[in-house]
Structure formats: structure tokens, C-alpha cells
Amino acid sequence: MVRLITHNLLACHAKGCTTNNFPLRLQDAAVELRDAEFNAEFVRGFLPRLEWKALVGAARELGDKSLPEEMPEMVDEEFLQKLHHVLLEIHIDEGAMVCPNCGHVYPIANGIPNMLLAEHEIA
């Protein structure tokens, strides 16, 4: 849980924190690999939503260097397989995600991130 696809979709949403609030920095991440069924169509369909640099950065932080720095122009099956692995099979079960801008710590416990805001962080 907290797969990298999810990490790629979450930004800090504290009041006033609107710039440099993504990607969240991973902290003390306990990583677990779990197989997921491959669906080429899904991975391909997700490409336009993806923040490539954030994904590559997070994967490298966790020790996975399978993805190239730049998104390749040629999207073939082999690339989709690699991307599938990074997006869906790397799980962060414990640790935290920290906002690079305001420093808000979003803790992850048993695979569930707590994205609740404190009272002073909401409008």
C-alpha cells in the first residue's frame, strides 16, 4: 500500500501551500514488493496523468533504477512492463510523506497514509 502511482497523485493541500507542494518527500519508507496483474492498456492510459520526474525520483529514492530519466518516446510492451512494476508493485507500508514546501508530515501506518490536516491548516 501507498504504491508509487498513489504517491504520484498526492500533493500537500495545507492552507496556502500551493507551490513546490509536490512531489512529497519519502521518509523512513519501509518498502514491500507485491505482484500485481499487468494491464498494458491501463498503464498506457495512465501515461498522460503521470508526473514523470516525480515518479523516477521516488523510485530511485527507494532503490529502483529501472526507469530512464526522461520518458522514452517509444512506448513498447517492455517499457510498459517496467512502468507497471514501478507504479503498482512497489508498496510503502510504513514511513511518512513530507511536504517539501511547508514541511507537513503525512504519516503512513499499515499502508494507509494519513492525509488529514490540522485545524490551522484548513481555510
Residues making contact with another protein (CB under 8 A) = 1-3, 5-6, 8-13, 22, 34-37, 39, 41-42, 45, 49, 51, 107, 110-120, 122
Q: How far is the CB of 63 from another protein (least distance, A)?
A: 21
Cis upstream peptide for 23 (omega within 30°) = yes
Closest CA to 6 of 71, 78, 97: 97
Q: How far is the CB of 30 from another protein (least distance, A)?
A: 13
Q: Which is nearer to another protein, 22 or 67 (CB)?
A: 22
Q: Which is nearer to another protein, 74 or 116 (CB)?
A: 116
What are the beta bridge partners of residue 109? Answer: 112
Q: Which is nearer to another protein, 17 or 67 (CB)?
A: 17
| CA atoms within a 13 Å half-sphere pointing along the CA-CB vector of 103 | 0
φ/ψ (deg, to 5) at 34: -135, 130
Q: Cell numbers for 49, please give them.
A: 496523468
- Residue type at position 36: A
Q: Which is nearer to another protein, 62 or 65 (CB)?
A: 62
Q: How far is the CB of 11 from another protein (least distance, A)?
A: 4
